[in-house]
């Protein structure tokens, strides 16, 4: 397995600022393009950037390098609760969007669209909730970054948990946002 | 090292450029024009005619004059809806071909004629041979469309050094003067046939595409088509007896040209007089077309770009307020309504300093300069517009390379045998964003071969690689035997012939359906829903339409009511459809109102 941290020349730890990562990535791609490198090398650099830029994949990659295993398990209990709500909102959205897109008359569709304000508000509320969790998790990564440097072994489990939660929050966020866009699209 | 030229191979116009002492220069042809219409006229005898002289043949010889071929390149017959071309488009063993007289041409062959003309222009101007090119394509082109474009370049005698995305090229053109800047820009590119939106980050000479989105079948041609429909309606309103003549191909080509010119003029004028002298016999037609009328037609088409803009912002993880600039490219962005629309979506006034017709060609030329080493300290990091995946169990799409991944990129998947002594399995490669495999483009399929071993023992890795042109290469590696081979994707010809047959079968079903009682019941249900809906729409936004339009809608409603009293399902279906069409504008107004209400609530 390639060590993406080493490839880009950045520190191997849970947190990194966007500035530092980009700087490293740009320097690397610039040097490769100027000596017309193999596209294989460029691919690896691109993959490294993509992996490290996302907190979830960065942590999983880090854990794999350190312990040979990304860890994980089950999502946090409060996320599980939120999941119930999200499923309801998404199902509701799919149903409403489905009947709206089946409507072939422009005028009937326009009238139906006017009634979808409730759905839009629901989606926005779930989105806000998820964005909050996302920032919460980011703060947590920053905190665990410190304890990682002090005691890697003990930080392993909590940081694996964060990575897992992060994956789910990101996935749900993109699902909620996709519904919001589809709502606009059907207008 | 020889020159590399940059080419914008457009739906409507094409351009060619070359780097000259460090600056991108677009080359004019011998008539002094930098824009070559992407039109090819094939006379019955003699050489093909390309560019402006061919464009002039459009109204005269519509069935021998090929235009907007970019809409067909790399397409399969099943996947495009019927196009209103005055020339013949056929399906031949799963490919689109154009038929002129007894000649059959592939779309890329037609495009190669345009490219050849540009090549000659460049060689004449530079006084030396050019045989290497960078060619631009819409960012949202799929793998097949890119490959076909590359082939067009090769047929014209070029080595296609790079396929570059149009909005990325436009950003290069814009950003070359701002190499020390750090900024985020959105490039909104609405051309004749395609729409692209890309979001880029400029960072001291590094152009990094954050996301790209679009629609390869959305553009100014759609507005032209709607405008033709409006004019035809106005003509038959005055001369009902001309209805059959209006479907004539030659006549269609003539109105289309008049409509297009009127559209262009309405970008700067509030109203134009549309004149069609000697329409038929000595009947002439004259009509005062206002910008408001044009905008009413264009609005729903332009609004279709909105969700693409939102998706690309979302993928770039950006709020519109974090953008530094919105750049407009493509001829249609000259329309004031497009500028207003962009201002609304991106919450800022768009930058119109780029020449919307030339930015892409200038950018392709800069990319040519980067590749030949003339332009230094500029790095371009582009992305793949569409997710790449394979079909898995249950007909689902399993994404292997997600959209907006920086190219070049590689990703692999490991396969094993599901039963003992299985010797091969079929892998279906897909491109697109839909969950179901069948809703995505099938790029091709191939057989993966195994050594006969017990179940689950075989290990074959398949590597998907997208190169700098956005084109896919597949490599299979048998890790047990240590063998490696490049996989050829067989094109999905059989599949698409099947699809065409299925469509024909279905259309036959529909022919018989009309006899059934079900059709009548459905039409009645629809009328009963439609009439009250139209009434309530009229009370909501009726004050925003002219009394003339109001009267027309009243007449359409009366016709539906009259048809309900009879028992002619054809008549009722037709009346419903006409009412649907006649209230399109009303529906747009309703949605506008709902949107502005929602926006007000947010504040």
Let me know if B189 is a catalytic residue.
yes
Instruction: Number of A to B CB contacts under 8 A, please give it.
Output: 97
Higher pLDDT, A17 or A73: A17
E-assigned strand segments in B48-194: 49-50, 65-66, 88-92, 95-100, 103-105, 132-137, 159-165, 182-190
Identify the contact set of chain B against chain A, taking CB-CB distances under 8 A: 203, 206, 208, 303-304, 306-307, 310-311, 314, 376, 379, 381, 405-410, 465, 467-468, 526, 529-530, 533-534, 536-537, 576, 580, 583-584, 586-588, 590-591, 594-595, 598
- ipTM of predicted complex: 0.89
Confidence of residue B411 (pLDDT cuts 50, 70, 90): very high
Residues of A in contact with B534 (CB under 8 A): 107
> pLDDT at position B22, please?
85
Out of B3, B109, B143, B166, which one is annotated catalytic? B166
Confidence of residue B495 (pLDDT cuts 50, 70, 90): very low
A2 — contact with chain B (CB < 8 Å)? no
Note whether B101 and B64 are within 8 A (CB).
yes
Asked whether residue B179 carries a pLDDT value surpassing 80, the answer given is no
- Tell the burial category of A24 from Cβ atoms under 10 Å away from its Cβ (0-12, 13-18, 19+): buried
> pLDDT at position B515, please?
53
Lowest mean pLDDT among B349-363, B442-456, B478-492: B478-492
Residues of B in contact with A33 (CB under 8 A): 379
Q: How far apart are the first and last CA of chain B?
A: 59
B537 and A107 in contact by Cβ < 8 A? yes
| Residue of chain A minimizing CA distance to B468 | A39
B310 and A184 in contact by Cβ < 8 A? yes
Whether B386-493 shares its CATH topology with B514-602 is answered no
| Residue of chain A minimizing CA distance to B409 | A43
> pLDDT at position B514, please?
47
> pLDDT at position B307, please?
92
Confidence of residue B500 (pLDDT cuts 50, 70, 90): very low
Domain B220-300 has CATH 3.90.640.10: yes
B598 and A106 in contact by Cβ < 8 A? no
Beta partners for residue B412, in sequence order: B463
**Average confidence score pLDDT of chain B:** 87
> pLDDT at position B363, please?
96
Confidence of residue B79 (pLDDT cuts 50, 70, 90): low
Asked whether residue B563 carries a pLDDT value surpassing 80, the answer given is yes
- Out of A3-12, B180-189, B448-457, give the one with best mean pLDDT: A3-12
Spell out the CATH class of B514-602: mainly alpha
Which residue in B203, B311, B590 is closest to A181 by CB distance? B311
Beta partners for residue B97, in sequence order: B90
Out of B8, B55, B196, B325, which one is annotated catalytic? B8
Average pLDDT over residues B147-152: 95
Distance CA A76, CA A92 (A): 25
* Best CA proximity match to B135, nearest among B113, B154, B109, B110: B154
A105 and B405 in contact by Cβ < 8 A? no
Interface test with A, best of B1, B195, B202, B206 (most A CBs within 10 A): B206
Share of chain B above pLDDT 90, in %: 50
Note whether B65 and B49 are within 8 A (CB).
no
Share of chain A above pLDDT 70, in %: 96
Q: Which helix (DSSP H) or strand (DSSP E) does residue B464 occupy?
A: strand B460-466
> pLDDT at position B493, please?
41
Those residues whose C-beta lies under 8 Å from the C-beta of residue B49, and which sit 6 or more positions away, are B40, B41, B42, B43, B57
**Average confidence score pLDDT of chain A:** 89
Share of chain A above pLDDT 90, in %: 59
Note whether B46 and B169 are within 8 A (CB).
no
- Would you state the structure tokens that stand for residue B336, as one six-digit string? 């004031």
pLDDT 10s digits, B154-172: 999 999 999 999 999 999 9
Lowest mean pLDDT among A32-41, B88-97, B334-343: A32-41
Confidence of residue B507 (pLDDT cuts 50, 70, 90): very low
pLDDT 10s digits, B337-384: 999 999 999 999 999 888 999 999 999 999 999 999 888 888 899 999
- Tell the burial category of B247 from Cβ atoms under 10 Å away from its Cβ (0-12, 13-18, 19+): exposed
A29 and B314 in contact by Cβ < 8 A? no
Average pLDDT over residues B231-258: 81
SS3 A170: helix
What fold, for B5-217+326-381? Nucleotidyltransferase; domain 5 (3.30.420)
Asked whether residue B46 carries a pLDDT value surpassing 50, the answer given is yes
Average pLDDT over residues B117-129: 95
The interface residues of chain A toward chain B in range 105-144, judged by CB-CB distance below 8 A, are 105-111, 113-114, 117, 120
Higher pLDDT, B252 or B383: B383
Asked whether residue B502 carries a pLDDT value surpassing 70, the answer given is no
Residues of B in contact with A47 (CB under 8 A): 409-410
Q: How far is B594 from chain A (nearest CA, A)?
A: 6
Distance CA A126, CA B164 (A): 39
Distance CA A148, CA A144 (A): 6
Question: Domain limits of chain B?
Answer: 5-217+326-381, 220-300, 386-493, 514-602
Which residue in A40, A42, A106 is closest to B583 by CB distance? A106
CATH of B386-493, picked from 2.70.70.10, 3.40.640.10, 2.60.34.10, 2.30.30.790, is 2.60.34.10
Average pLDDT over residues B196-209: 93
> pLDDT at position B73, please?
92
Asked whether residue B561 carries a pLDDT value surpassing 60, the answer given is yes
Distance CA B594, CA B599 (A): 9
- Crossing angle for the helix pair B547-565 and B569-582, nearest 10 degrees? 160
Asked whether residue B497 carries a pLDDT value surpassing 50, the answer given is no
Let me know if B31 is a catalytic residue.
no
Asked whether residue B76 carries a pLDDT value surpassing 90, the answer given is no
Note whether B155 and B109 are within 8 A (CB).
yes
Asked whether residue A140 carries a pLDDT value surpassing 80, the answer given is yes
Lowest mean pLDDT among B295-304, B403-412, B515-524, B566-575: B515-524
pLDDT 10s digits, A154-179: 899 999 999 999 999 999 999 999 99
Residues of A in contact with B304 (CB under 8 A): 185
A47 and B410 in contact by Cβ < 8 A? yes
DSSP assigned state of B27: P
Note whether B74 and B97 are within 8 A (CB).
no
Confidence of residue B494 (pLDDT cuts 50, 70, 90): very low
> pLDDT at position A36, please?
57
């Amino acid at each position: 397995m390639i060590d993406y941290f080493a490839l880009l020349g950045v520190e191997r730890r849970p947190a990194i600022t966007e500035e530092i990562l980009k700087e490293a990535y740009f320097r690397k791609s610039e040097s490769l393009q100027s000596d017309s490198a193999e596209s294989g090398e460029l691919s690896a650099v691109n993959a490294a950037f993509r992996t490290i830029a996302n907190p979830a994949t960065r942590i999983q990659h880090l854990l794999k390098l350190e312990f040979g295993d990304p860890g994980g398990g089950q999502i946090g209990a409060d996320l599980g609760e939120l999941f119930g709500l999200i499923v309801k909102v998404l199902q509701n959205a799919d149903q409403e969007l489905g009947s709206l897109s089946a409507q072939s008359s422009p005028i009937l569709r326009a009238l139906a669209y006017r009634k979808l304000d409730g759905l839009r508000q629901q989606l926005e509320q779930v989105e806000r909730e998820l964005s909050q969790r996302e920032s919460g998790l980011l703060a947590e990564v920053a905190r665990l970054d410190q304890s990682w440097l002090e005691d890697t072994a003990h930080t392993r489990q909590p940081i694996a948990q964060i990575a897992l939660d992060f994956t789910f929050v990101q996935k749900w966020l993109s699902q909620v946002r996709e519904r919001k866009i589809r709502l606009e699209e059907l207008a | 090292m020889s020159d590399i030229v940059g080419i914008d191979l457009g739906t409507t116009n094409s351009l060619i450029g070359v780097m000259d002492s460090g600056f991108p220069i677009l080359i004019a042809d011998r008539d002094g024009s930098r824009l070559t219409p992407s039109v090819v006229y094939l006379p019955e005898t003699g050489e093909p005619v390309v560019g402006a002289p061919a464009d002039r043949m459009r109204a005269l010889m519509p069935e021998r004059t090929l235009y907007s071929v970019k809409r067909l390149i790399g397409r399969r017959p099943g996947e495009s809806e019927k196009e209103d071309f005055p020339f013949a488009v056929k399906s031949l063993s799963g490919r689109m071909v154009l038929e002129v007289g007894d000649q059959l041409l592939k779309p890329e062959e037609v495009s190669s004629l345009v490219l050849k003309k540009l090549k000659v222009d460049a060689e004449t101007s530079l006084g030396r041979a050019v045989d290497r090119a960078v060619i631009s394509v819409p960012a949202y082109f799929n793998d097949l469309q890119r490959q076909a474009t590359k082939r067009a370049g090769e047929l014209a005698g070029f080595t296609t050094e790079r396929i570059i995305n149009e909005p990325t090229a436009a950003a290069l053109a814009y950003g070359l003067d701002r190499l020390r800047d750090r900024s985020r820009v959105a490039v909104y590119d609405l051309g004749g046939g395609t729409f692209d939106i890309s979001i880029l980050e400029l960072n001291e000479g590094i152009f990094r595409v954050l996301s790209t989105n679009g629609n390869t079948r959305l553009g100014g041609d759609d507005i032209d088509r709607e405008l033709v429909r409006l004019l035809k309606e106005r003509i038959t309103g005055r001369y009902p007896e001309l209805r059959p003549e209006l479907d004539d191909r030659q006549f269609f080509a003539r109105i289309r040209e008049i409509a297009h010119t009127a559209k262009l003029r309405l970008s700067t004028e509030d109203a134009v007089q549309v004149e069609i002298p000697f329409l038929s016999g000595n009947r002439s037609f004259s009509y005062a077309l206002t910008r408001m009328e044009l905008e009413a037609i264009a609005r729903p088409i332009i609004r279709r770009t909105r969700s693409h803009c939102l998706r690309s912002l979302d993928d770039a993880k950006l709020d519109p307020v974090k953008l530094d600039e919105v750049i407009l490219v493509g001829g249609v962005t000259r329309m004031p309504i497009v500028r207003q629309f962009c201002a609304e979506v991106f919450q800022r006034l768009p930058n119109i300093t780029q020449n919307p017709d030339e930015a892409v060609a200038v950018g392709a030329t800069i990319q040519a300069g980067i590749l030949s080493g003339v332009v230094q300290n500029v790095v371009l990091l582009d992305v793949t517009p569409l997710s790449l995946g394979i079909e898995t169990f249950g007909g689902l799409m399993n994404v292997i390379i997600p959209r907006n991944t920086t190219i070049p990129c590689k990703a692999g998947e490991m396969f094993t045998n599901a039963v003992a002594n299985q010797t091969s399995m079929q892998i279906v490669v897909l491109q697109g964003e839909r969950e179901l495999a069948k809703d995505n483009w099938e790029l091709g399929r191939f057989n993966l071969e195994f050594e006969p071993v017990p179940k689950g023992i075989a290990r074959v890795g398949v590597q998907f690689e997208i190169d700098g042109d956005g084109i896919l290469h597949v490599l299979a590696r048998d890790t047990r035997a240590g063998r490696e081979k490049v996989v050829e994707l067989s094109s999905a010809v059989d599949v698409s012939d099947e699809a065409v047959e299925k469509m024909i079968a279905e259309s036959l079903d529909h022919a018989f359906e009309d006899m059934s009682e079900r059709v009548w019941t459905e039409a009645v249900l629809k009328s009963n829903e439609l009439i009250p809906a139209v009434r309530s729409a009229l009370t909501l936004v009726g004050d925003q339409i002219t009394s003339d339009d109001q009267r027309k809608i009243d007449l359409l409603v009366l016709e539906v009511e009259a048809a309900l009293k009879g028992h002619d399902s054809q008549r009722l279906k037709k009346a419903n459809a006409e009412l649907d069409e006649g209230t399109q504008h009303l529906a747009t107004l309703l949605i506008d109102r709902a949107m502005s209400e929602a926006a007000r609530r947010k504040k």
